[in-house]
Each structure stands twice: as structure tokens, then as C-alpha cells.
Amino acid sequence: MRIGISNKPETDMTKRETTAADGKNIPKEIKKQLLHYMKLTREIEYRVEKVLYRQGKIVGGVYVGRGQEAISVGTGMLMRENDVVAPTHRDMGIFLIRGVSPRRIIAQYMGRKTGVTQGKDGNMHMGDLKHNIIAFVSHLGDNVPQAAGAALAMKMRGEDRVAFCYSGEGATSRGDWHEGINFAAVHKLPVVFFINNNQYAYSTPVSLQMPVKNVADRAPAYGIPGDVIDGNDVLAVYLSAQRAVEWARSGKGPYMVEYKTFRMTGHSAHDDAGYVPREVFDEWKKKDPVERLEHQMLGAGEITNEELAGMASEITGIVDDAVDWADKSPYPDPEDCLKDVYFEK
């Protein structure tokens, strides 16, 4: 006997294609900001992964989002100041957009007292509640119920706020991920779930991670919309995030968007990604999100080569200053190691 599944959704859950052509209407100033944040992200991560790590100046691991900068930047630009965000270890753009300074970020990686966690943790496991950023919990999937919880509080208080939640496709195999999404969907909470599907979870390819083609294919099973978008096209990312955030902000409940992308490096700085065929990197290199936006803007006369050169040198200056400042910063005092770890009245 076949058991029928009612797939008559209450909401419109059609998969949408957003193309660069749709991006034409995005104002030039927004595109410049998108480019700025993607380039700043890339430069900070380059310095951390390829320079400071190799100089032995980094305390702990280094996880970067090279090649997938468009996702945190394109979605993060939609955040309002009072929105809450639960990023992952590949979402540097979120920190920059939220206003965490490159100085504090580099100091974080270098384990200094002036870093975001004041030297208590290294790398991207950082949060700053002054900026409404929930620190990433190492256990994959855990930030999903956290974001759902934040969204529940917002709804109960009648606040006009949205929670932004990020995960990789690997995290979607965890029970916590499903529980968090189900809870948010049942209670129609104001939360957007942005998934970076970068094809590998450490060395596990997506084909061994899930039996369905898209993470977002699962969204209708929770009764929420799910879109699949080119994550290397920042304009498509921006427009899709706009749709998702408007949906959540207007009280319709959660929205999921899956961004197809690729991690153009190893899982972390110690990993040479030898398990990824060379041709795959070559293929994705052609879709580089930063170069893509530069070409689009140059082609549309929205930016000049001189402006691009100016932006590049400004960014180099920002990161030089951040590295210099962090390098001169002190290490934490041992007696402060338990300070701010537990809640104190």
C-alpha cells in the first residue's frame, strides 16, 4: 500500500532561480559595498591563513571561506542593527558587516587580549553580543536551535527582529539541525536559514552526506519555503536573501535558502585538500565571486579600474594596520582566564 503524502503547501515553496540579470536593479552603491566586504574578507583571511599561520603567529586552527565570500556578505547586508546572527566558521563577512573591527578579528586569531574573546579562544569561534552575534558552537548544527531560540524570544516579546542562521551542508546531517528547523517552523518564528553547500564537509563529499540533490529539497517537509541559489553570484545571493528576510520579517515564519558554492581551500589551514580533484578547483576558480562582481560592474560602467585599484589599496592598508596593531597587543593575563566565561550577576 502506498501512503500518500500531502504536498499541497500552504505557502509558495517553488524553487526560484535568481540570475545576475535580476541584479541590474540593485543600486551601484550597494554593489560597491558588497565588493568591499568580499574583498576585505578575502584579504583578512589570506593574511591569516597564508601569512600569519605560516609565521607561527596564530593560536589554534584557521578556517576560511575563500571562494564563498558572497554568501555571508550578500545575506549579511540585509541585517538590521537589532537582528541577531548565528554565523559559522566560514562567515567572516558577517563580523565585518556587523562592525567588528579587523583589528579585533586579527587579534582574536593571534590569541591576544584585544581579540573578540580576549584571548580565551582562537579563530572563528567568536561572538560579540554587543553586535548581536552568537558565538559559533563547535558542535555542528547547534547554532540552529540557538537561532530558533533567539527568534522565539523575539516573537514572544513582539519585537520586529529576525534571526539569521548559517550552516554548511555537513551540519544538516545532525539531529540538532533538524530539531531547530522543525521547532522554528512549527512556531512560525522569524528566522532565516542560510546554508552554504560548499560540496565537502571536511573530506566528505556531498554525495556521501545526503541522498537528495539539494538541502533545500527538505524545506517543504518542514512546511517552509526553500530556494536553491548560485552562491557565487553575490547579486543573486543578495536578492534571494532579501526575499527570505522579508518573508520572516512579515511574520510568515522561517525561510531556507541553499547556496551552491565551493570551498577553495582545505577544511582548515593544516589540510591540503588532497581529496579534491584538481580539475574541480579549476572549474570553480572560473566562478570566483569577487572577480565575477568586478567584471559585472566594470562591464556595466558601475566602477572604473582606478576605483578598483583604490579599493584594493585601501583594504591592504586596513589589514596592514590590523596585523600591526594585533601583533603589538598583549597576551591575556592568566588570572583572567575564567573572567566572562560564566554568567555572573
Ligand X SMILES: Cc1ncc(C[n+]2csc(CCOP(=O)(O)OP(=O)(O)O)c2C)c(N)n1
Smaller CB distance to ligand X: residue 7 or 138? Answer: 138
- 3-state SS, the chain, equals CCCCCCCCCCCCCCCCCCCHHHHHHCCHHHHHHHHHHHHHHHHHHHHHHHHHCCCCCCCCCCCCCCCCHHHHHHHHCCCCCCCEEECCCCCHHHHHHCCCCHHHHHHHHCCCCCCCCCCCCCCCCCCEHHHCECCCCCCCCCHHHHHHHHHHHHHHCCCCCCEEEEEECHHHHCHHHHHHHHHHHHCCCCEEEEEEECCEECCEEHHHCCCCCCHHHHHHHHCCCEEEEECCCHHHHHHHHHHHHHHHHCCCCCEEEEEECCCCCCCCCCCCCCCCCHHHHHHHHCCCHHHHHHHHHHHCCCCCHHHHHHHHHHHHHHHHHHHHHHHHCCCCCHHHCCCCCCCCC
- Which listed residue (90, 98, 120, 292) binds ligand X by CB under 6 A? 90
Q: Within 234-293, which residues bind ligand X (CB under 6 A)? A: 263, 267
- Which listed residue (198, 232, 265, 329) binds ligand X by CB under 6 A? 198
Q: Is 174 in the site for ligand X (CB under 6 A)?
A: yes
Region near ligand X per CB under 6 A, out of 47-55, 170-178, 221-229, 332-340: 170-178
Q: Is 138 in the site for ligand X (CB under 6 A)?
A: yes
Smaller CB distance to ligand X: residue 114 or 172? Answer: 172
**Which residue has its beta carbon closest to ligand X?**
168
Q: Is 62 in the site for ligand X (CB under 6 A)?
A: no
Q: Is 170 in the site for ligand X (CB under 6 A)?
A: yes
Smaller CB distance to ligand X: residue 246 or 271? Answer: 271
Smaller CB distance to ligand X: residue 115 or 168? Answer: 168
User: By rule CB under 6 A, what count of residues binds ligand X?
Assistant: 17
Region near ligand X per CB under 6 A, out of 6-14, 37-45, 198-206, 226-234: 198-206
Which parts of this chain interact with ligand X (CB under 6 A)? Answer: 88, 90, 138-140, 168-171, 174, 196, 198, 200-202, 263, 267
